[in-house]
Amino acid sequence: MKIITTGGRGFIGSHFIELCLSRGYSVVDIDFMGYCSNKKLPFDNHPKYQHIHQDICSIEHLPACDVLVNFAAETHVDNSINDTKPFVHSNIIGVHNLLEIIRGKNGYERPLFVQISTDEVYGDRSDGEFVENDSLKPSNPYAATKVAAEALTLSYHRTYGIDFLITRSSNNYGERQYEEKLIPKTIKCVVDGKKIPLHGDGSYVRDWIYVKDNAEAILTLIESGKKNDIYNIGSGNRIKNIDVVTEIIGWYNADPASSIQFVPNRWGQDVRYALNTDKINSIGWYPKHPKGIYKWFN
């Protein structure tokens, strides 16, 4: 199987590429090397890996492939609140450009288009779980651009017959995650002896999934031949932000009382995320890593 990834120098994409290469697949990655991209990765010299340094918004040609997995995106909610334009550019215009290129191919040359989305498209809920056919109610500009990307994908399937998958994953964590996200930021603050900023009173709940489990879920869907459908990917690992931070502080034997600084809520703060994963579980995928915040390093 020949796979194209976009944004594969980033966090989730790089783990997906590692998994694909370990299974013998060829991967061409299109990544314009933004601020979150990894300059060096373990597979840089792998004979079945190629990096194309281009922006998905301006690329005009896609090499022949069986599957295109779009990881390329601006993802940090706080950044989207401060400046929406990069999010519209990458998350909407970029997806539109990729779909247009696929549309221009002969039917037998068109790859399966896999759009990597997020649980944030649903908004939040105080109890219960989101299922794939629930209404989408994004709370912030980042989530809104991901909803728009999903809508484009669905419309190109309906109008032009492009085959697709959409995955909506919960909060990822693990090695190579950029330090603006909660877990790597907490680790860096503790190591540097700085206060850890925590929104509100820290009671907001997120469902955490180890990044390698998410990569495995995406590849499982592709290998299973699934198409023209939407799948939640989560672990049922729902933890308050303050408990996540306290757990990490404990790794370093630091004092939670003196390590945390509560800061005002971000605008449009979501209270709780919770995904129902019965659909993907029904094809045999389950997370392999333990609940809680799995300590992936010594």
Residue numbers annotated as active site: 119-120, 142
- Give the whole-angstrom CA distance, residue 297 versus residue 184: 12
- Give the whole-angstrom CA distance, residue 118 versus residue 122: 9
Q: Which residue type does 120 have? A: E
The H-or-E segment that residue 61 falls in is none
Distances (CA, A) of 214 to 85, 203, 211, 287: 28, 25, 5, 8
Distances (CA, A) of 178 to 150, 188, 191: 24, 11, 15
Burial 5-28 (b: 16+ CB within 10 A, else e): bbbbbbbbbbbbbbbbbeeebbbb
The H-or-E segment that residue 201 falls in is none
